[in-house]
Amino acid sequence: MEPQDRSYIESLVRAIPDFPQPGIIFRDITTVIKDAKGFTIIMDDLVDRYREQNIDYVMGAEARGFIFGAALAYAIGAGFVPARKPGKLPAQVLSASYNLEYGSNSIEVHKDAIHKGARVLLVDDLLATGGTAKAMTQLVEELEAQVVELAFVIELEDLKGRDLLAPYSVYSQLTYWNLDSIAQDRANLLEAKARSSFCLLWNP
Q: Which residues are the active-site residues?
A: 64, 101
CB 43 within 8 A of CB 63: no
Rounded CA Rg of the chain: 20
**CA-to-CA separations, 125 to 13, 19, 62, 69, 145, in angstroms, rounded:** 12, 17, 10, 9, 22
Closest CA to 113 of 83, 150, 68, 151: 83
CB 123 within 8 A of CB 151: yes
Peptide bond connecting 86 to the previous residue in cis, omega within 30 degrees of 0: no
3-21 per-residue burial string, b: 16 or more CB within 10 A, e: under 16:
eebeebbeebbeeeeeeee
